[in-house]
Each structure stands twice: as structure tokens, then as C-alpha cells.
């Protein structure tokens, strides 16, 4: 083997080692940073009831983005805690916000501000509400909530005779559900039916967080694998160069 060839291989080896180290370092930052970011932004919960079927089933593990109650919009699925509702964590869907007028049903559909709302998340064949909802004006700073499984959901309709017409304060909100983590069903579908009465929320940064974690894992594994792979390839090249050349 010539000196020039040896120096070239040595230079390539050093460069490869440097790049491998950088890949591992960057991968660790992305991987650990992604997990840390997710822990700060999201809170996991386990759903104990059927009131949000089929969107969320009993025992599903959900990820709720920690947000201010003032950021909640129509169509959001939220986690909240209201003393008058039992002082426990509950998951429901926001169908109307402060200043809205909500009622059911007109031609089988929920209405918000006299506009019919398409609700594709309801169980197939189920009406928007099994019991008629009288016209309710939602007080400012409060939310009117329904379960997706309307037949058995103890939601705002079960508290209509209470103060504030069964609505919940925005201050009671603990988070907005972005995804079902287990079993892995992915991100919740956007409630586009509410676009007719105003804007809907945009998804949280969960996809970006997952991308960072996956990219970090790939970089760490790829960088760590470089050394053994490069060493094996180097040995093969060395063997080929030292093999005697036959004379014909």
C-alpha cells in the first residue's frame, strides 16, 4: 500500500469520525430535546368513560396540550375540572363559546348561532342529540360542552337547570386533546363543521415534536453505527490491497 493511499484513508477516517460524532451529538439534542419539549407542552390522561366514543374510547391514553382556557375554540376536545360537575377531570367537546346561542335540533342537526353544524365525529347513525336542547345563550367566558356519545354523556345538557345554563368556565380548562397516544390512533381530526361559525383551533406542536424525536434517534443510531461499519470496510480494503497479484 502506498503512503499516499494510506494518508488518504487516514484522512477519510478522521473526517468520518468527526461527522459521526456530530451526528450523535445532534441526534441526542433532538431526541432528548423532543421528549423534554413534549413533557412541558403535553399532559397524558386516561379516559375512564364512553362519553367521547368513537373519537376516544374507554381506557384510551390521550395527549392534551396545556393551553389557556381563553385559547379554546368551538370543536375542541378539552380536559377540564369543574367542582359542580364532580370536581374530577372530564373530557368533552366544546360546541359553543361565550356569546353563542346553541340549540338542538333542526333537521337532526345541532345549531350554533342559527347555523347547522356537521358533526362527522358522532357515532354512525346517532342523532345530534337524543333529548332536545332548548335554546341556550352561553355567558361570556364560559363553554357549552357535549360528549360525542350523546346517549350516555353527562355533559352540559345534564346541568341545564344549574347556574350559567350548564356551561363551564374557561378557567376550568386543563388542556386541549390533540391525539390518542394509546392505542396509537394519531391526531384527532379537525372539527371542520364549526368553520361556518368562526375559526377552529390549529393542532399543537405534537407532529414537530415527534419528528424531532424520530430524527434524533436516526442520527444517534446512524452515527453510532459508523465506526463498526467503517472499520469493517477498511479491513476489507486492506485485505484486497495486500493480496498477491498473480502473473499470467
> Catalytic residue positions?
51, 92
Measure CA of the first residue to CA of the last residue in the chain; give whole Å. 22
Tracing cell 350548564 back to the chain, one arrives at 166
Q: What is the dihedral of CA 92, 94, 99, 104, to 10 degrees?
A: -90
Alpha helices (H) in the chain, listed in sequence order: 3-41, 206-242
- For the residues of 209-225, what is the DSSP string, one character each? HHHHHHHHHHHHHHHHH
Asked if the peptide bond before residue 183 counts as cis, ω within 30 degrees of 0, the response is yes
Per DSSP, 113 falls in state: T
- Of how many residues is the chain composed? 248
CA distances from 219 to 28, 37, 80, 167 (A): 8, 19, 39, 49
Helix 3-41 vs helix 206-242: angle between axes, to the nearest 10 degrees? 160
Asked if the peptide bond before residue 85 counts as cis, ω within 30 degrees of 0, the response is no
Amino acid at each position: 500500500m502506498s503512503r499516499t493511499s494510506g494518508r488518504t484513508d487516514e484522512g477519510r477516517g478522521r473526517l468520518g469520525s468527526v461527522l459521526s460524532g456530530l451526528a450523535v451529538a445532534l441526534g441526542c439534542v433532538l431526541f432528548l430535546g423532543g421528549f423534554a419539549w413534549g413533557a412541558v407542552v403535553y399532559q397524558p390522561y386516561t379516559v375512564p368513560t364512553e362519553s367521547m366514543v368513537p373519537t376516544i374510547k374507554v381506557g384510551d391514553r390521550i395527549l392534551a396540550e396545556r393551553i389557556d382556557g381563553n385559547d379554546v375554540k368551538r370543536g375542541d376536545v378539552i380536559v377540564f375540572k369543574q367542582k359542580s360537575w364532580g370536581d374530577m377531570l372530564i373530557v368533552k367537546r366544546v360546541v359553543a363559546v361565550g356569546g353563542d346561542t346553541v340549540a338542538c335540533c333542526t333537521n337532526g342537526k345541532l345549531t350554533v348561532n342559527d347555523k347547522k353544524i356537521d358533526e362527522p365525529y358522532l357515532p354512525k347513525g346517532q342523532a345530534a342529540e337524543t333529548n332536545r336542547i332548548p335554546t341556550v345563550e352561553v355567558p361570556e367566558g364560559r363553554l357549552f360542552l357535549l360528549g360525542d356519545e350523546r346517549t350516555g354523556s353527562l355533559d352540559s345538557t345534564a346541568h341545564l337547570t344549574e347556574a350559567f345554563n350548564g356551561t363551564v368556565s374557561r378557567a376550568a380548562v386543563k388542556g386541549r386533546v390533540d391525539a390518542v397516544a394509546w392505542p396509537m390512533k394519531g391526531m384527532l381530526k379537525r372539527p371542520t363543521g364549526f368553520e361556518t361559525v368562526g375559526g377552529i383551533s390549529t393542532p399543537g406542536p405534537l407532529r414537530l415534536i415527534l419528528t424531532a424525536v424520530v430524527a434524533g434517534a436516526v442520527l444517534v443510531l446512524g452515527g453510532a453505527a459508523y465506526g463498526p461499519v467503517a472499520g469493517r470496510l477498511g479491513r476489507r480494503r486492506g485485505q484486497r490491497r495486500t493480496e498477491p497479484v498473480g502473473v499470467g
